[in-house]
Amino acid sequence: MSQSANPTLIGAFVLGALLLVVVAMMALGGGFLFRERIELVTDFPGSVQGLNVGAQVQFQGVPIGQVTAISIAYLPQDQQFRIPVNYEIWPRNIRILGRAEGAVPRSVVRQLVARHGLRARLEPLSFVTGQYVIALNLNPGEPPQELIEREGAIRVPAMPATRDRLEEAFSSIRVGDLIERVNGVLDALQTVLESVSLTDIIVQLEQTLTEVQAVFGSLHQQLPELFTNTNQLVTHYTALAQQTQTQIASLGPQLEQVFNHINHISQRLDAELPPLTKNARLALTQTEATMRNLGEIAAAGSPTRRQIEELLRETTRAAQSLRTLADYLERHPEALVRGRRP
């Protein structure tokens, strides 16, 4: 007769299995179930094709979280749809340094969104697979944003993705006008081609080629004579250069003699100039002394000048007396014999 199963043993076995499953999940998930997270949400304006739940959330290329939910919200009053994307970031992957060290991560994220331009954008992870990720970046030039929380998730404003900007750029191009312009260019080319005969163009090309061949033939005939004249000219100039070099060589000794003679004259002048200069200075000194003496003699009030003036006055009176005597003897010549009458 078989024994009945022990319920305690079975319960212990099941409890151990569950414990092993929990430990395995924690080991494989890297503590995902107990990881601290900050919930964020962004309403992207365009398509989110290529973005899936579980896609990475990156900050400047560094994975810091993942997408948790993608949904569609309809706004009846605006007749518009929006696509809110919920995602989470893990503070464990972000280190806060400096004076803000120890701050609450959620408060730091709120300040980044409101004051420092934290924005979300869709970026391609691979052009081959078409997968997208959410890229968070700081944009200091953005104006301050009103902080909004939706069901505990901080709302991060979105920036247009690259593909959205490209679609907007292409949508601004008027395809009809572009096609019309292309058709106009084709019509103009067709008109030009129809107005010019291809046969005439070929004939003109053949004539041009014939003239070019004739020119090259003439050049081919004249080139030998040109080369001969060039060689003769080079030979002539070579002989002229040699002759000039010979004459310069013969003039060399004569030029050297002239230079030596000039050098000798320069040396003689250098030797004779000092005595001449000395004599000239001595003569100038003596002349200066003489002129100074003459100036002192002719100065007003000097004794020599008074004597000369007295001598001139006496000489003048004597000359007057002689003139009077001459006049008297001219009138009375007998006075030389008889003497002067009283």
195/189 Cα distance (integer angstroms): 10
pTM (2 decimals)? Answer: 0.43
**Amino acid identity for residue 166 in this structure:** L
- In the block, tokens 């004459």 appear at 247
Under the phi-then-psi rule, with left for phi > 0, alpha for psi from -120 to 50, and beta for the rest, what region is 30?
A: left
Mean pLDDT of 323-327: 74
How confident is residue 24, by pLDDT bands cut at 50, 70 and 90? low
Residue 95 DSSP label: -
pLDDT in tens, 235-257: 887 888 787 777 777 777 777 77
**Around Cβ 94, how many Cβ atoms within 10 Å?**
15
* For residue 337, pLDDT beyond 70: no
User: One-letter amino acid identity for 64?
Assistant: I
Question: For residue 158, how many other CB atoms are within 10 A of its CB?
Answer: 20
The fraction of the chain above a pLDDT of 90, given in percent, is: 11
Instruction: Compute the C-alpha angle 92/95/101, nearest 5°.
Output: 120
Identify the pLDDT of residue 66: 93
The residue with tokens 């995902």 is 32
Length of the chain: 342
The one-letter amino acid at 103: A
Give the pLDDT band of residue 1 (cuts 50, 70, 90).
Answer: very low
For the chain, give every domain's residue range.
Answer: 29-160, 303-338
CB atoms within 10 A of CB 190: 10
Decide: residue 59, CB within 10 A, 0-12 exposed, 13-18 middle, 19+ buried.
middle
Measured between its terminal Cα atoms, the distance across the chain in Å is 225
pLDDT, greater one: 161 or 136: 136
Distance CA 122, CA 159 (A): 8
Query: Over the stretch 185-215, which tens digit does the pLDDT of each residue have?
Result: 777 777 766 665 656 677 777 888 888 888 8
Q: Between these two residues, 81 and 187, which has the higher pLDDT value?
A: 81
Closest CA to 69 of 50, 58, 55: 55
Sign of CA dihedral 129, 134, 137, 139: positive
Query: Tokens standing for 157?
Result: 């404003």
% of the chain exceeding 70 in pLDDT: 77
Predicted confidence (pLDDT) per residue in 119-156, tens digit: 999 998 877 888 999 999 888 888 887 888 888 899 99
67 φ/ψ angles, rounded to the nearest 5 degrees? -80, 135
Q: Which residues contact 212 (CB under 8 A, 6 or more apart)?
A: none
Lowest-pLDDT range of 63-77, 230-244, 283-297: 283-297
Q: Which of 103, 91, 98 is nearest to 40 (CA)?
A: 91
**Nearest of 26, 43, 88 to residue 63 by alpha carbon:** 88
Predicted confidence at residue 105, as pLDDT, reads 82
